[in-house]
Amino acid sequence: MTNKFVRPEIAEMEPYVPIVPFEVLSARLGRAPEEIVKLDANENPYGPSPKALEALRNGRFFHIYPDPESNQLRDALSNYVQMPKARLLTGMGADELIDLVLRVVLSPGDVVIDCPPSFGMYPFSTAVNSGQYVPVWRNEDFSLDVDGIETAVAQHPTAKILFLCSPNNPDGSTIPDADLRRLLQLPVLVVLDEAYVDFDLNRKEREERKDKAEKNFALSASFAVQNSSRIHWTLEYDNLAVLRTFSKLAGLAGLRVGYGAFPEWLLPQLWKIKQPYNINVAASLAALASLEDQAWLQEKVQLLVAERERLFTELGTISYLNPFPSQSNFILCRVNGRDARQLKLDLEQAGILVRYFNKPGLDNCIRISAGRPEETDKLLMTLKEL
Ligand SMILES: *Cc1c(COP(=O)(O)O)cnc(C)c1O
């Protein structure tokens, strides 16, 4: 029973179901957090870089409000992604930036186009902001239905935003350049979510990085942008925003810090409505120090990409699993001939957490994050026994 004061869109919304807090789950399973193999939320198992931890230990101004413009961090990001600082905005995770863009752009009832299965925050924030959610389902192999998106835009004169995610969560597929360029011709603002782009290295780059890794990571700032990010495309297209985050790459999911590159016309409006102190002092210190620890970050990317590849190969040898190729730090599997939920619960009893899905496009699926090699070992051993 809702009160008459509650906005109808909010009253009708399905509540967001957050994952069970780690401490609660660890108590429930009767295992210490360190013993749990946590492969359910694509977090970075290596945690923050040692430089980030040191910066947090040495922080001296936690009692002072942070810089509303995040100048230091945006300067460092500008150098890192080789983009003008004026085009960059930081957020309390990429999640806040998703919400901010919708708040600026949507009038009640305006259409947001999403391509599920994809990230749950797009429908969530659309509903919170009174948007009309229009899904254009992906193809069987999780590629985009580009024709379908064009049709949906043509059919909805109030279509304002198209969410795209590359690599896509939960399957890890990427959007080819040609498809993205075609979609950028549409009269909508394209929000391209690159939360996992750091793990999208093509084979040649991967080989080059391996060579460099062996030469002890003598890395320059420019090295950091050698993934397949389209963040520079925001200079070319004025209907493109690109979102990135420190959560998956830099192990800072718990500190909530992300950033994005936005069109010139959108920036003043975003600045106007954002909470002044959205990036807290600790998050800013840790993010800055992480950017100064490229060698460490890239070494961990290498390790996680290697684990992803090993996972894909090994999961393919398990009779009841059908893994999808991924350019991210996780592998989605369809479970055949047995119940994916039961499989998730059985793994949980063994102290291994994976993500379970059972919704359209993802029926009877599990998603497994790339972990440390010993975590992959334990997972594979358990899967073979079950
Ligand atoms: C994890 C994730 C995010 C959230 O990033 P935060 O910076 O932690 O808010 C955004 N997009 C996708 C696709 C994600 O999986």
Q: Report how far ligand 1's centroid is from the alpha carbon of 164 (Å).
A: 13
Residue 191 CB–ligand 1 contact under 6 Å: no
Confidence (pLDDT) at 16: 78
What distance lies between CA 195 and its chain's CA centroid? 3
pLDDT in tens, 136-165: 999 999 999 999 999 999 999 999 999 999
DSSP 232: G
Confidence (pLDDT) at 227: 76
Rounded Cα–Cα distance for residues 49 and 22 (Å): 21
Domain around 101: 50-293
pLDDT in tens, 54-102: 999 999 999 999 999 999 999 999 999 999 999 999 999 999 999 999 9
- Domain tally for the chain? 2
Beta strands at 352-357 and 37-39: parallel, antiparallel or unpaired: parallel
pLDDT in tens, 176-206: 999 999 999 999 999 999 999 999 987 445 4
Q: Name the least confident of 21-35, 203-217, 278-292, 311-325.
A: 203-217
The verdict on 251 and 132 lying in the same domain is yes
Residue 172 CB–ligand 1 contact under 6 Å: no
Considering the chain, what percentage of its residues have pLDDT values greater than 70?
93
Residue 247 CB–ligand 1 contact under 6 Å: yes
Average pLDDT across the chain, whole number: 93
Question: What CATH code is carried by the domain that includes residue 341?
Answer: 3.90.1150.10
The verdict on 113 and 189 lying in the same domain is yes
The verdict on 10 and 153 lying in the same domain is no
Q: Please give the structure tokens belonging to residue 16.
A: 């967001």
Confidence (pLDDT) at 212: 59
Global pTM reads 0.93
The verdict on 93 and 241 lying in the same domain is yes
The verdict on 130 and 263 lying in the same domain is yes
Confidence (pLDDT) at 223: 44
Count CB-CB contacts under 10 A for residue 78: 16
Residue 93 CB–ligand 1 contact under 6 Å: yes
pLDDT interval class at 21 (50, 70, 90): confident
Question: What CATH code is carried by the domain that includes residue 102?
Answer: 3.40.640.10
Residue nearest to atom 7 of ligand 1 (CA): 93
- Please tell me which residue, 342 or 215, carries the higher pLDDT value: 342
Rounded Cα–Cα distance for residues 386 and 368 (Å): 16
Q: Letter for the amino acid at 121? A: M
Confidence (pLDDT) at 213: 54
